[in-house]
Each structure stands twice: as C-alpha cells, then as structure tokens.
C-alpha cells in the first residue's frame, strides 16, 4: 500500500512540472509577440516621420542657422536650380544660395565675405591722375647730321704728309689733318698776286687775292705767313673745321687728289641721334620735346635720357613705322654710331589729370564697357561706363563713375557671373509672381 501511494505522489509531481513548463512557455510567447508589435510600430512611425520630413523639405527651403537658404543651384550651370539638396550628373553637390546674397535693389547684388575672399576680389578708388603712355620702340645710334663735316679738296694736288692717319681719331677744331702739295696753277697765281700787291702796296688787289685764296681753302695762318715773308708756298695744311671724330679717311700719303675729292669726314659725337622706329598706331601721342629713356644691349643696367627732336613725315610701307629723332648727350663717348637701342618715350595723354581706373576694372564685351561699384556690406552694383584713352595699364573714364568711388579691380569675372545669376533669378521670380 505504501509503495502504491509513493508512485501516485511521484506521478502527480511530474504532471505539475509539465504544467509549469507549459505555462512558462505560454508567457514567453506572449512577451515575444508584444515586443514584435512594439518594434513594428516604432519602425513604421520612424518611416512616417522621415517621409513627413522629406516632404516638408521639398515644400519649404531649408535654413542654416541664422542664414536662410533660398534654393540650390548647379555649380556648372547657375540657371539649373533645385529647392532641395541634390547632385548633378557628375556627382557634384548643388551650391546653396542664401537670402542675404540676393539684393533687392535693381542692378545690385550681395556677396558673402567668404565668397569675396575665396575669389580674391580686390577693390580700389577711382582717382584723377596724369596719364602717360609709354611708347616703346627700337632704334639705332646715328651721328648728328648738323655736326658732320666733309673735307673736300678745292684744287689738284698730292698728300704730302698725314698727321691723322686712322679713322676713329678724335680731333679738335683747327687741328692739322694733313699737309698737301699744291699742283693747281690757279692757287699759285693768286699767291703771286698777293705778293705783288703787297710789294706795290695795292691794298685792294691784295685783299682780292686773299679772298680768293680763302675760297681755295688756304688757311689764314698760311696767308699771314705769305704776308710776313713775301714768299709764295707750294704746301699748305688741311685743318679740322670742328671738334669731332674722324669717321672716314680716304686720304693716304702720296695720293694724288683732284678738286672735289673727299679727303676726310668728321663728326662731333658729343651729342648723337637715336633714330627710333615707332609704330604708326603710337604716333598720335608723340610731340617734339617729350622725354625718352634709352637703354643699350652692351650695358642694359645703364639708361640715358634724351629728347624727341623731330618726327619724320613719312611711314615705311614695309614696316609701318615712322622714324623719330631723339637727341642724346654723349659727353664720354660711350654711345657708338650704329649701336642698337631700346627706346621708351613718355607721351602724356592730356595736359591735365583725368579720371582713371586700372584696365582690370573694366569689363568690355566689344560694344559696352562696365565696372562694378563696391558698396558697404558686401553689396556690388554694375555701372555702365564710357572709356576714353588707354595708357600704361589705366583707362580714362569719361562718364559713369565719380572720383572717390570704390570699384572692383580684381575678381571681376566672379562678380560678373554672380550678377548675371542673381539678375536671372530675380527675373524668374518676378515672372512666376
């Protein structure tokens, strides 16, 4: 009996254990189902919020802190805009356009400080200045034609003695160059007439003979010697008429010469000419008296100053240039005839200062000229201007700007692009309204 009761008790306990496990499993299944329901609800709620956020972004442009984004534009095509962030076909992000970058005033626009700095925009003041055009040309050194002298024989004879036997020698006025032997009987006859007139005290005849001897080139010192000694002479010296340099010397000792033959050619090189070849397009501003700066290849570090003396009246049909004569002092003889020269002539555009801006400040499309006025607070305004003369990197302003105005001198292309973009956006906004 006792054994039977123990078996019944053990069987009951086993049944209770099985029942307890079933209960526990049921509770776990219910909990898992509840968690799943919560997770599903949370996921669906998040997706709905994201969809709502995206829809809101599509309807209303975003804001960035205190700056409100109006729209986004294609960096490569500013006319391509979008109300939401996106990428173009090349994967580049659209650029945000903020409300403070679009000016409400007609013809003006705003740029942020970051854009101004990134584009390297520089500004400068419109001012009055004396505009000087630097006309550049090439040239060569030439002797001053007014200081050249050719010593021609005025009678027949022979070179008895050369006192200056080389070209390039520097001579003084009145210095003997050669001694010649007189062959022409006309000169000898006049010497005899002078001697006879002196002996008979025929003053008029003597003076007539002296004048004729001077015309034959007989020096005054030789005439005085004939008057003193009462004897004619067969040899006379040839004198240098000016200070200068012997440029040519056909004379050789023992050479026979006839009347009219050149014996020496001299030139005073204390002042020389630089013959500049100036392009015909630069001739309008040139005038005699203007200053020229000249450098030479043998010493480029040294410059010489000269003065425009004459502008020749003809234009070379092959080179389309005109010769301009510049007088340059050459006291030390450093400048050589035929030497190549680089010339810069300072040619004032006007006698009085004019309103001028740097060339980089002007946007020129071939028909109109425009400059960008820099206003306070990063605002810029496009101004049509009328440009006059151009010289040395500056443009004369005839109208459109006033003295003291600040204008953009660098970064104009970015300013121009931004101006066109904002004008187009304002136009489209006005049309849509």
Describe the crossing of helices 220-229 and 203-215 by its angle, rounded to 10 degrees. 140
Strands (E), 213-298: 235-239, 244-248, 256-257, 262-267, 271-279, 291-296
Instruction: Classify 246 as helix, strand or coil.
Output: strand
Alpha-carbon distances of 55 from 59, 62, 71, 85, 153, rounded to whole Å: 6, 12, 15, 13, 111
**Burial, 320: exposed, middle or buried (Cβ in 10 Å; 0-12, 13-18, 19+)?**
exposed
Q: Output the pLDDT for position 95.
A: 83
Q: What is the pLDDT along the chain (433 residues), one digit of tens a residue?
A: 455 445 544 644 544 344 454 545 445 554 455 445 444 444 444 443 333 333 333 334 444 456 678 778 787 776 677 888 988 888 889 888 776 655 555 567 777 777 788 778 889 999 998 888 889 999 999 999 999 999 999 999 999 999 999 999 999 999 999 999 999 999 999 999 999 999 988 989 999 999 999 999 999 999 999 999 999 999 999 999 889 999 999 999 999 999 999 999 999 999 999 999 999 988 988 999 999 999 998 888 889 999 999 999 999 999 999 999 999 999 988 899 999 999 999 888 878 888 999 988 898 877 888 888 888 878 888 889 999 888 878 899 999 999 999 999 888 777 777 666 555 555 544 444 4
Strand order in the sheet with 148-152: 148-152, 262-267, 244-248, 170-171
Q: Output the pLDDT for position 3.
A: 57
The secondary structure of 180-235 as a DSSP string is EEE--HHHHHHHHHHHHHHHTT-HHHHHHHHHHHHHTT--HHHHHHHHHH----SE
Pairing of strands 369-375, 340-348: unpaired
Tokens coding 160? 């008895």
Q: Output the pLDDT for position 50.
A: 37
Q: Output the pLDDT for position 382.
A: 84
> How far is 414 from 424, CA to CA, in rounded Å?
15
Alpha-carbon distances of 410 from 117, 357, 381, rounded to whole Å: 11, 12, 15
Instruction: Classify 54 as helix, strand or coil.
Output: helix
Rg (Cα) of the chain, in Å, rounded?
51
Domain residue ranges in the chain:
1-60, 64-101, 108-130+352-432, 135-144+269-348, 154-260
> Which residues, 6+ apart, have CB-to-CB distance to 200 below 8 Å?
none
Note whether 108-130+352-432 and 135-144+269-348 share their fold: no
Domain spanning 135-144+269-348: CATH superfamily = Efflux pump adaptor protein, beta barrel domain (2.40.30.170)
Q: What are phi and psi of 356, to 5 degrees?
A: -145, 155
Which position has the token pair 């009145």? Answer: 174
> How far is 119 from 108, CA to CA, in rounded Å?
18
> How far is 276 from 346, CA to CA, in rounded Å?
14
Q: Output the pLDDT for position 98.
A: 72
Tokens coding 126? 């419109």
Q: Output the pLDDT for position 410.
A: 87
Candidates 3.40.190.10, 3.40.50.720, 3.40.50.1370, 2.40.420.20; correct CATH number of 108-130+352-432? 2.40.420.20
Instruction: Classify 279 as helix, strand or coil.
Output: strand
């Amino acid at each position: 009996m006792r054994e039977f009761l123990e078996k019944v008790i053990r069987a009951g306990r086993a049944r209770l254990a099985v029942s307890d496990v079933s209960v526990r499993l049921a509770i776990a299944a219910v909990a898992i189902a509840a968690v799943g329901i919560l997770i599903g609800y949370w996921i669906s709620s998040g997706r709905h919020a994201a969809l709502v956020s995206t829809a809101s972004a599509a309807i209303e442009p975003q804001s960035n802190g205190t700056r409100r984004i109006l729209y986004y534009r294609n960096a490569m095509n500013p006319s391509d805009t979008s109300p939401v962030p996106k990428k173009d076909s090349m994967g580049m992000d659209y650029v945000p356009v903020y409300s403070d970058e679009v000016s409400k005033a007609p013809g003006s626009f705003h740029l942020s400080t970051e854009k101004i700095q990134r584009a390297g925009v520089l500004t400068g003041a419109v001012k009055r200045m004396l505009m000087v055009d630097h006309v550049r040309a090439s040239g060569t050194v030439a002797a001053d034609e007014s200081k050249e002298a050719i010593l021609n024989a005025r009678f027949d004879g022979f070179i008895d003695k050369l006192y200056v036997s080389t070209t390039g020698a520097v001579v003084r006025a009145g210095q003997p160059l050669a001694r010649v032997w007189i062959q022409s009987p006309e000169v000898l006859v006049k010497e005899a007439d002078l001697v006879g007139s002196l002996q008979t005290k025929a003053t008029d005849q003597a003076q007539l003979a002296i004048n004729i001897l001077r015309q034959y080139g007989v020096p005054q010192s030789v005439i005085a010697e004939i008057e003193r000694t009462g004897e004619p002479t067969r040899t006379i010296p040839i004198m240098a008429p000016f200070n200068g340099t012997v440029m040519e010397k056909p004379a050789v000792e023992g050479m026979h010469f006839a009347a009219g033959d050149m014996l020496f050619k001299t030139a005073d090189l204390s002042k020389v000419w630089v013959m500049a070849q100036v392009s015909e397009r630069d001739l309008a501003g040139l005038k005699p008296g203007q200053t020229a700066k000249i450098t030479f290849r043998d010493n480029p570090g040294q410059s010489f100053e000269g003065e425009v003396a004459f502008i020749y009246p003809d234009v070379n049909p092959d080179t389309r240039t005109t010769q301009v004569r510049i007088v340059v002092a050459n006291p030390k003889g450093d400048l050589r005839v035929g030497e190549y020269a680089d010339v810069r002539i300072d040619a004032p555009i006007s006698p009085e200062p004019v309103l001028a801006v740097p060339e980089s400040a002007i946007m020129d499309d071939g028909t109109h000229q425009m400059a960008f006025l820099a206003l306070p607070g990063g605002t810029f305004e496009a101004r049509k201007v009328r440009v006059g003369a151009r010289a040395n990197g500056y443009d004369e302003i005839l109208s459109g700007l006033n003295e003291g105005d600040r204008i953009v001198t660098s970064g104009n292309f970015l300013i121009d692009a931004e101006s066109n973009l904002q004008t187009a956006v304002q136009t489209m906004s006005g049309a849509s309204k």
